[in-house]
């Protein structure tokens, strides 16, 4: 492929995932990834700061979650605003055509402690993004933090379920059902009958 062709970030991600699967994360270099994608090392670094980041999409997800919270109806409760954000992510990121890629990505991350650490840090950033978006809606700090933490838990569980090859549902459906289950579990745990 010629270096000038479009979709360089996507090509780099696919090349990195292929190489990480074939050789292992530790045995793959940035040069290997760039060459597999038909690009140069400098092109790689225009899009990603290091080889870890190639599987984590930068701040795209954080921005989508914040936009989803902001775009929720004005009367939405904090948790409803978070649910709206998860629907946005499901529509824009976790689409059925990416399910196989997602499963491969998760397998690569699970096999490497450095990538698992990066995944955990990304989760913290996503949670903080939702909490900040809720505060901008006028939600008190503690309520924002709790709703964002619940949202992060729902997103993690829903993502695991949706990534399973046996799952035929769209991410938004899985997230909606998971949110109901998490709310019921929380009520049961706290002894709340509502």
Q: What is the pLDDT of residues 32-67, one digit of tens each?
A: 999 999 999 999 999 898 898 888 876 788 999 999
Q: What is the pLDDT of residues 136-187, one digit of tens each?
A: 999 999 999 999 999 999 999 999 899 887 888 899 999 999 999 999 998 8
Query: Taking each helix axis from N to C terminus, what angle separates 78-92 and 60-71, rounded to the nearest 10 degrees?
Result: 130
Q: What predicted TM-score, i.e. pTM, was given to this entire model?
A: 0.83
Domain membership of residue 139 as a residue range:
57-190
The C-alpha angle with vertex 99 and arms to 183 and 173, in degrees rounded to 5, equals 30
Kindly state whether residues 99 and 186 are assigned to the same domain: yes
- Start-to-end Cα distance in the chain: 59
Q: Is residue 2 part of a domain?
A: no
- Asked if residue 161 lies in contact with residue 183, where contact means CB atoms within 8 angstroms, the answer is no
Question: CATH no. for residue 179?
Answer: 1.10.357.10
What local confidence, expressed as pLDDT, does residue 2 receive? 47
* Position 193 pLDDT exceeds 70: no
Kindly state whether residues 37 and 72 are assigned to the same domain: no
Q: What is the pLDDT of residues 147-158, one digit of tens each?
A: 999 999 999 999
Q: Quick count: other Cβ atoms within 10 Å of Cβ 150? A: 20
Question: CATH no. for residue 33?
Answer: 1.10.10.60
Q: What is the pLDDT of residues 8-38, one digit of tens each?
A: 888 999 999 999 999 999 999 999 999 999 9
What local confidence, expressed as pLDDT, does residue 192 receive? 61
* Position 87 pLDDT exceeds 90: yes
């Amino acid at each position: 492929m010629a270096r000038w062709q479009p979709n360089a970030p996507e090509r780099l991600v696919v090349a990195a995932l292929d190489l990480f699967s074939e050789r292992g994360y530790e045995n793959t270099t940035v040069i290997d990834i760039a060459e597999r994608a038909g690009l140069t090392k400098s092109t790689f670094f225009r899009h990603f700061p290091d080889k870890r980041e190639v599987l984590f999409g930068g701040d795209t997800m954080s921005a989508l979650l914040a936009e989803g919270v902001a775009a929720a109806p004005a009367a939405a409760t904090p948790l409803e605003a978070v649910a709206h954000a998860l629907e946005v992510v499901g529509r824009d990121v976790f689409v059925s055509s990416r399910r196989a890629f997602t499963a491969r990505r998760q397998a690569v991350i699970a096999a490497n402690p450095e990538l698992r650490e990066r995944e955990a840090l990304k989760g913290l950033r996503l949670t903080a993004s939702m909490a900040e978006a809720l505060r901008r809606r006028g939600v008190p700090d503690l309520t924002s933090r709790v709703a964002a933490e619940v949202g992060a838990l729902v997103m993690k569980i829903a993502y695991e379920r949706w990534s399973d090859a046996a799952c035929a549902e769209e991410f938004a459906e899985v997230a909606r059902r998971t949110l109901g289950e998490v709310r019921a579990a929380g009520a049961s745990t706290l002894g709340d009958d509502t």
